[in-house]
A and B are shown apart, each in its own frame.
Chain A
């Protein structure tokens, strides 16, 4: 079941922040993680992820730094910042609220 474009866009930030809460990561690995978590249903494009990561960096929700990958290549990693953690908590509350509303509606049906 492939999620709609709108849902993919809306869920991108909380997913990225949640992945980074588990540890520092980089673009390609984040895309792989999302694919794995969704069982292959959610396929993020590179062109979607990096602009979001860069916006999160500008908003100081994540911190970026350059490191060296296991193959010796230069790689940009992202780390969740304190403000990012607070944002993740806010987003999680919004999603919980939405899920609660859906469950209430289902109960009424």
Chain B
């Protein structure tokens, strides 16, 4: 069943990831989207049709991003990657969960580096980090995100 609130939240998250607008900027755009939806509904469209019409009217997120690029700062590319990285987690609780997971991995990597630093094997730590820890962390992160999404859909 179509859930307007959830669809709008997903759309806002994708806009945030594309444009790297601060929260209030996206909130303003979300209000604009709701106004467009209200107008479309007045013409007799269903909630879902109105949402599709309103998002089509506002343009794709990449088009919006291009239009808003004029106001961007030099740090925007970094910010954009960070926003994209966090956008697949829908709620603040999920984001906290993913951050904790990343911190645990970071702690594990630092602890292993400290332990290896006093052994003759310290020279291979760079290799260990690249070949073992980073791929493992990435795979673990992807699995966790997938599990969170699956749980959210259910």
Q: Residues on A close to B: CB < 8 A? A: 26-28, 45-48, 50-51, 54-55, 66, 69, 71, 73-76
Contacts and interface: CB of A to CB of B under 8 A. Distances in A.
Interface stretch (B28-36, B79-87, B104-112): B28-36
Given A51-B70, A55-B71, A73 B34 contact: yes
A26 B70 contact: no
Given A54-B71, A55-B71, A47 B59 contact: yes
B120 interface: no
- SS class, residues of chain B in contact with chain A: helix
Given A46-B58, A51-B71, A76 B31 contact: yes
Given A51-B71, A76-B27, A27 B64 contact: no
B44 interface: no
30 contacts: A26-B31, A27-B31, A28-B31, A28-B32, A28-B35, A28-B36, A45-B59, A45-B67, A46-B29, A46-B32, A46-B58, A46-B64, A47-B66, A47-B68, A48-B67, A50-B25, A51-B67, A51-B71, A54-B25, A55-B71, A69-B31, A71-B34, A71-B38, A73-B31, A73-B34, A74-B31, A76-B24, A76-B27, A76-B28, A76-B31
B63 interface: yes
Interface of B: 24-25, 27-29, 31-32, 34-36, 38, 58-59, 63-64, 66-68, 70-71
B67 A47 contact: yes
A50 B29 contact: yes
Which interface residue of B25, B28, B34 has the most chain A CB atoms within 10 A? B28
Contacts, number: 48
Contacts of B34: 71, 73
B54 to A, nearest CB: 10
A75 B67 contact: no
B58 to A, nearest CB: 5
